[in-house]
Structure 1
Amino acid sequence: MIKRYGSAVLIGVVALIHSALAQAGAIDDAVRRGVLKVGTTPTYVPFEMTDRQGRIVGFEIDLLGVMSQALGVELELVTVPYTELLPGLLANKFDLIGSGMTVTQERNLKLNFSDSFIVVGQTVLLHPSLAGKVSSIEDLDDASYRIATTEGTTGEAAAQRFLGAARLSRFATPEEGVHQVVIGAADAFIHDAPYNLIASSRAENRALLVLEQPFTFEPLAFGVKKGDFDSLNWINHFLNQVAQDGTYDRLHDKWFKDTAWLEDID
């Protein structure tokens, strides 16, 4: 009887250990593995992008680098199209999403978000022929205007919401969308403010007009699987730490105040 009882207890303990491991969060998995795997789409300047050496760099990438150092692990970036970020997370292809993702109610039904690490909004790049004709997003809500957006982004959602009367076109990357305005195939491009501000500074885009006032409020955050509260707790404390010790301000100034890095971007 005693032997049987002892065996039952042992089996129960093993089962509990396996259960605990199965429920471990993404951060715990990364520490155990020695690698933090992050899903990203490196087309969002200056958050994640590819330099001339083929390296993925940017403000959010630097934040993730500091995060991995704090965890004592290596950082592995898994590049996928933007529309494949959520499916990739759910399929365990990576531990978290770090790709300039805006927190929305619709997305929050499918994954959990950390605290926001920056707030941006949508702005407009205009063809120079619209100088004096368009001064706000409301002016573009007309069937005579052609609007370019990036597929799967909140820029696309904002265009659908605010510009229902206009003719919308979707492109795989923001660079393609901006180019449509440059060549006159579109009248305006809708995208996040940081990207549009930097895109307008490029030589090939300098003729474009910029409506700099954002017309939406969009917090960006890291995404993890629903129910992974241990990982959220660690990430949120990390974000608070770097905000307090000056790390965040240093990285922010590097990418948003100093534009020397533009010379290294392909």
Structure 2
Amino acid sequence: ATVKAADQNVLETIKSKGVLRIGIEPGFLPFEMRTPQGEWVGFDIEMMQAFAKSLNVKAEFVSTKWEGIIPGLIANKYDIIVSGMTIKPERAKAVLFSDPYFEAGLKILLAEKNMTTIKSMKDLDVKGKIIALKLGTTGDYFAKDNFKNAELRRMDSEADAAQAVALGKADAFVYDKPFVEIFAATRKGKVGVLSDLVSKEFLGAAVQKKNQALVDGFNAFLAGWKKSGDYDKAYRANSILVLGIVSWLVYSSFMNLDYDWDFLFLKDYVWDPVNNVPGLLLQGLWITLKVSFLSIVWGTLIGLLLGACMMGKEPVSRWFSVIFVDVFRNTPVLVQLYVMYFIVGTAIEMEPETAGIVTLSLFCASYVAEIFRGAVLEFEKGQIDAAKAMGLSPFQIARHIAAPQVLRRMLPALVGQFVSLVKDSSLVSVISVADVTKSALNIVAVSFKSFETWFVVAILYCLVNTVLSSYGRYLERRLRVG
């Protein structure tokens, strides 16, 4: 009775807050994607908006990477996952699935060069053949069990894997039927599809094990939605919509190294002409600048404090600072982000952007502390004795003698650390922060134009760091003159 009451409370909490949070990874066509204006579209989107409306709440979509989507649910980052997730026994050990809302299956995307020679999976499972896969998907599991001779190459996104086939870097890609067919339709003459459906699968919504009431509510809604005919209308409409968007974005063709560059498609992602507001790329760039700036400021302040404590005589603060610096310098920042967001952030309800700023600040602080300590140790203490003999006060010694020399020694290393931090800020995309890297991933998932998108993103990072480096060199010249 207690479990059932707690379960019911989850649904009541959603209703009282007025928001249903949905975990989703964009790019699985025609189920979920983002337009150049950053709007969510697709079958899953329309279905969950209708479900939220039936609960009299607002649908809030939380974008996250696929490998972190179930951990995010367990960590209460969202209430339900609806992201083209296949119902699998392995996943059912961690989550509670709804009734199937779509019957899908796996198909094999083939490079055009293989269309005449590969007629079955057996033809593909030979040495020398390369099969692209999206990490952690049912296609990945299927290939592991059924292809023993071909080389399996796992990639982070379906767009990258499909692109590898279109470019001739891989011979095939095993993935869900809707995506494979839509991609093939936009790449006629470059890729083809093996006609047979290699497996039958069912997609379902997923919630935490304890949330039976939420699943029951979704199942009841789904049954009514199908009976009303709105289900079929939504799927047909979104299939046509997604194919239209992708066809419009993807009109250049390429074969081997003969690539038709098309940067113009990005203009709507830079500025939205309809609403006259910044597009997805500029929105992401603003988040990157904000996260980087705040992390640099807080990292510098905390680092200076830690550096001072490391050189102090008080043993507790000294050893705490030493251990802190060792831990954050000797562990990958990606691991720190996961710990901060999924563990610490769950305990204190920390937003993804806040978790990213806190992690990068602490990571930066560990390096600033060592830079500060090294600069102070190089300072000749005889100068302090001479200044005291001249009658200067401690403040005057610090202000006019110690600080300029320490800062001059710190500055080159500090600027290098800050430049590195701006680049490291791209990692916050893995915890669903909508920075410029996350925006680029969303764009590639829709347009399949990896080259142009990442080339522009590289230029943006280069421009930001060039400005930062130039300002650092300007300060160095000022300090030398001073």
User: What letter is aligned with 2:228?
Assistant: D
1:253 lines up with 2:249 in the alignment? no
Counterpart residue number, 2:107: 123
CA contact (8 A) 2:108 2:193 kept: yes
CA separation of 1:20 and 1:131: change in aligned 2, threshold 3 A:
closer
- For 1:60, what is the secondary structure of its paired residue? helix
Q: Secondary structure at the match of 2:185?
A: coil
The aligned residue for residue 211 of structure 1 is 194
| Gap runs ≥5 in structure 1 | 1-15
**Deviation of 1:188 (Å):** 0.6
Residues 89-126 of structure 1: CA distance to partner in whole angstroms, max 9, x if unpaired?
A: 00000000011000000001111100011111111111
2:20 maps to which of 16, 23, 36: 36
User: Matches of 1:201 and 1:43 in 2, distance apart?
Assistant: 16
Name the stretch that deviates more: 208-217 or 230-239. Answer: 208-217
Task: Give 2:185's aligned amino acid.
Answer: S
Cα distance change on mapping 1:160 and 1:70 into 2, 3 Å: same
User: C-alpha distance in 2, partners of 1:209/1:25?
Assistant: 50
Structure 1 residues 20 and 128, CA gap change in structure 2 (3 angstroms):
closer
Q: For 1:255, what is the secondary structure of its paired residue?
A: helix
Report how far residue 164 of structure 1 moved: 2.1
Residue matched to 1:4: none
- 5 Å-filtered alignment, 1:1-40, equals 22-24=6-8, 26-40=10-24
Within-5 A mapping of 1:29-178 = 29-178=13-162
Bigger proportion of residues as helix: 2
Aligned AA for 1:240?
Answer: A
Q: Cα–Cα, structure 1 residues 26 and 157, in superposed 2: closer, same or farther, change >3 Å?
A: farther
Distance 1:71 1:28 in 2: 10
Q: Which has the higher contact order (CA 8 A, sep 6+)?
A: 1
**SS class of match (1:44):** coil
Would you say how many aligned residue pairs link Structure 1 and Structure 2? 249
- 1:219–1:25 distance in 2 versus 1, CA, 3 Å: farther
In structure 2, runs of 5+ residues without a counterpart are 250-445, 448-482
Please report the TM-score for the alignment, with normalisation by the length of structure 1: 0.88
Which of the residues 185, 189, 199 maps onto 2:169? 185
- Structure 1 residue aligned with 2:182: 198
For the structure 1 residues 69 and 202, does the alpha-carbon distance in structure 2 shift closer, same or farther, using more than 3 Å as the test? same
Q: Percent identity?
A: 30
Label 1:124 to 1:26 Cα distance change in 2 as closer, same or farther (>3 A): farther
Once the two structures are superposed, what CA deviation does each residue of 1:171-199 show, in whole Å capped at 9, x if it has no partner?
A: 11111001111121111111100000001
Residue 272 (structure 2) aligns with: none
Greater CA drift, 142-151 or 254-263: 254-263
1:239 is aligned to 2:222: yes
Deviation at 1:58, TM superposition (A): 0.7
Alignment deviations for residues 224-247 of structure 1 (CA, whole Å, 9 cap, x no partner): 111322111111110000000111
**1:26 and 1:96 in contact (8 A); partners too:** no
User: Take 1:174 and 1:141, find their aligned partners in 2: how far apart are those partners?
Assistant: 21
Letter in 2 for 1:150: K
Offset, 1:143: 1.9
Q: Which shows bigger deviation, 27-36 or 77-86?
A: 27-36
User: What is the rounded CA distance, in whole Å, between the counterparts of 2:143 and 2:26 in structure 1?
Assistant: 22
Question: What is the CA distance between 1:256 and its match in structure 2?
Answer: 2.9
Distance 1:167 1:213 in 2: 21
Report SS of the residue matched to 1:248.
helix
Alpha-carbon distance, 1:255 to partner: 2.1
| Alpha-carbon distance in structure 2 between the residues aligned to 1:164 and 1:225 | 35
Residues 5-64 of structure 1 deviation map (CA, whole Å, 9 limit, x = unaligned): xxxxxxxxxxx99x8774435433211210000000002111111111112211111100
Contact 1:148–1:188 under 8 Å retained in 2: yes
Judge conservation of contact 1:39–1:97 (CA < 8 Å) in 2. Answer: yes
Is 1:220 aligned with 2:203? yes
Larger Rg, first or second structure (1 or 2): 2
**Post-superposition offset of 1:128:** 1.3
Aligned AA for 2:171? D
